[in-house]
Structure 1
Amino acid sequence: MKTIKIAGVPEHFNLPWHLCIENGEFQDAGIDLQWTDVPEGTGKMCKMLRDGETDIAVILTEGIVKDIVAGNPSKIVQIYVQSPLIWGIHVAAKSKYKTLSDLENTKVAISRLGSGSQLMAYVNADNQGWKTGNLQFEIVNTIDGAVEALTNGTADYFMWERFMTKPLVDKGIFRRIADCPTPWPCFVIAVRNEILEKEPQIIAKILEIINQTTEDFKEIPSIDRTLSEKYHQKTEDIQEWLSLTEWSQKPLDEKMLNKIQNQLLELSIIDKKGTFTEIVKS
């Protein structure tokens, strides 16, 4: 039995992994796949890959591209979710801010530096024609930290996946004032180079198993109810989310990587572009 450590956010996108683990599919292939939930998100997972605390991360595309360019010894092995991530832009329910334009030059809550919540704040500011150099950040670590920061006014808005944040909107804690979809496929699977070199067959088998599940994921009987119960969402919200979400079983191609890097470079999130072979396992 080969032990492989994997990390991902505790969100509905990752239910296919949990189903494969619970059904013993990795175990049947001689793989002890040990999952770690990382509510802090991309910035924390990049650090875990660097420190060898995880072998694989199911991670936001823009975050891992940025970190590999900055020296993270890992590669993207494939796209995991092809569709964009829809980031909701949230303020406290009682906030004075009513429209997106009201948020220019205010403070944004982010989970940590290098996180998707920070990178997408740059993308959103650029979309709105704001000066990205004027962005101010408050590090809040988790969604609970964001609730605290927005409620007590240490930050003004928070960007997070729209559907996972919807229960806070329904409870009257947050108000969503806009959406900002990623201009690229949202999640990829990244693996440490050391593991790619030592265990290529194991990694190929893991991808084969997860790809079989994601291919048929939407056809699983009552999957909307399962997701709704597990992630404390309304069934109609889950149904909308499922209709918008497309998993992928394909590699990241050079054209898409160029698009991502060009935008990150334009926003000064990276100061140089990496080559295709440095970033993607071909």
Structure 2
Amino acid sequence: MIKLRIGGVPEHFNYPWYITLKNKEYTKEGINLRWQDYPGGTGAMSKALRAGEVDIALVLTEGIIKDIINGNPSKITQTFVKSPLIWGIHVGANSKFKTIADLEHATVAISRFGSGSHLMAIVNAHNNGWNVNNLQFKVVGDLQGGIDALTNGDAGYFMWEHFTTKPLVDNGTFRRVGDCPTPWPCFVIAVRNEILENHFEEVKKVHDIINSCTKDFKDFDNIDEILANRYEQQLDDIQKWLSITEWNDGKPISEDLISAIQNKMVEFNVIEKKENSGDLIRNMYI
């Protein structure tokens, strides 16, 4: 039996993995798939892929494109969540900032450089006509670090997924002053090149299993109640999230899509120049 290590954020997007692991669907195919939570997000997973500490990762599209261009020996194998991610723009409960416009010169809390919270702060700055070169960042590691930084006044604002942070808005830890959707599909699956070269069929089987689950995920009995309880969310928030979230059920990722995303990333100064999109992907399905 082959052992494969997979990582992702401990958030509702990845609950289909929990279901398939709990049902031992990978074990039945001779694959010992071991899950690792990465609360630090895409930056932490990119580092783990580089170090060979994880074989497969569920990462933000913009983060892994940038890191593969910068030498991460991995490939994008497919889109995982094809709808945009809604990034909430948060300030501390007692912050003097009231609107997005107030944040132009404020320090941004980010999990790490190259993470989604970092890159989307740049996108948000562009959206608002700010000078990106003037952005100041405070590295905080993860969501808890963001809570601490805003509470202590070490940073002015922090961007994290809207629904994950909704309980913190509800309980008065954060105030949300706005949202910033990603201008591209939000999550992709990335796999280390070494694993693709040596265990392609097993990796493809992993994709087959998860795609079969996500295809019918919204139709599972009481899935809204299950997610609300597991992730400590309000039921109406989960229902809204389910209504706007679309998973990929196995459609190949195209070079055209990656090129279009790279064009946006160049426009936003997230990457300096486009690379050959075919070099960034390895399709499971042709």
The TM-score, its normalising length taken from structure 1, stands at: 0.99
Report Cα offsets for 1:48-69 as digits up to 9, x if no partner: 0001000000000000000000
- What letter corresponds to residue 263 of structure 1 in structure 2? K
Aligned length: 282
Q: Distance in 1 between matches of 2:195 and 2:21?
A: 20
Q: Following superposition of structure 1 onto structure 2, how do residues 157-172 of structure 1 map, counting pairs within 5 Å?
A: 157-172=157-172
1:274 alignment partner in structure 2: 275
Cα distance in 2 between the residues matched to 1:123 and 1:251: 27
Equivalent residues in 2 for 1:146-185, closer than 5 Å: 146-185=146-185
Q: CA deviation at 1:255?
A: 2.0
Structure 2 equivalent of residue 143 of structure 1: 143
With 255-264 and 119-128 compared, the bigger mean Cα shift is at: 255-264
Residues 35-114 of structure 1 aligned to structure 2 (within 5 Å)? 35-114=35-114
Deviation per residue, 1:58-85 (Å, 9 max, x gap): 0000000000000111000000001000
Alpha-carbon displacement from aligned partner over 1:135-187 (angstroms, at most 9, x marks no partner): 10001111111111001111000000000000000000100010000000000
Task: Say whether the 8 Å CA contact 1:61–1:185 is kept in structure 2.
Answer: yes
Which amino acid counterpart does residue 99 of structure 1 have in structure 2? Answer: T
Work out whether residues 108 and 137 of structure 2, in 8 Å CA contact, stay in contact via their aligned partners in 1: yes
Q: Which residue of structure 1 lines up, in the alignment, with residue 198 of structure 2? A: 198
**2:200, 2:36 → 1: CA distance?**
22
Give the letter for the 1:234 counterpart.
Answer: Q
Shift of 1:251: 2.4
CA distance in 1, matches of 2:118, 2:53: 23
Please give the alpha-carbon distance, in whole angstroms, between the structure 2 residues aligned to 1:277 and 1:246.
24
Q: Which residue of 1 aligns with 2:262?
A: 261
Distance 1:229 1:70 in 2: 39
| CA distance in 2 between partners of 1:250 and 1:143 (Å) | 32
Q: Secondary structure at the match of 2:27?
A: helix
Structure 1 match to 2:20: 20
CA distance in 2, matches of 1:277, 1:241: 32
Match of 2:128 in 1: 128
Q: CA RMSD in A?
A: 0.8
Deviation, structure 1 residue 237? 0.6
Partner amino acid, structure 2, of 1:42: T
Alpha-carbon distance in 2 for matches of 1:19, 1:175: 33
Runs of 4+ more than 3 Å apart:
none
Deviations for 1:104-143, whole angstroms, at most 9, x for unmatched residues?
0110000011100000000000000000001100011111
AA at the equivalent of 1:57: A
SS at match of 2:26: helix
Secondary structure of 1:10's aligned partner: coil
> 1:9 touches 1:39 (CA, 8 Å); kept in 2?
yes
Counterparts of residues 242-261 of structure 1 (less than 5 Å): 242-248=242-248, 249-261=250-262
Aligned-partner residue type, residue 144 of structure 2: D
1:260, distance to aligned residue in structure 2 (A): 1.3
Equivalent AA in structure 2 for residue 275 of structure 1: N
8 Å CA contact 1:69, 1:272 repeated in 2: no
Gap runs ≥5 in structure 1: none
- Residue identity in the other structure for 2:9: V
Could you tell me the TM-score, scaled by structure 2's length? 0.97
DSSP 3-state at the match of 1:72: coil
| Aligned partner of residue 3 in structure 2, secondary structure | strand
Letter in 1 for 2:95: S
Q: Distance in 2 between matches of 1:200 and 1:148?
A: 42
What amino acid does structure 1 have at the position aligned with 2:112?
R
SS of alignment partner, residue 268 of structure 1: coil
2:255–2:278 contact (8 Å) kept in structure 1:
no
Q: Distance in 2 between matches of 1:264 and 1:79?
A: 17
- Alpha-carbon distance in 2 for matches of 1:152, 1:51: 33
Distance in 1 separating the partners of 2:195 and 2:78: 15
Secondary structure of the corresponding residue to residue 138 of structure 1: strand
Structure 1: how far apart are the matches of 2:40 and 2:204?
28
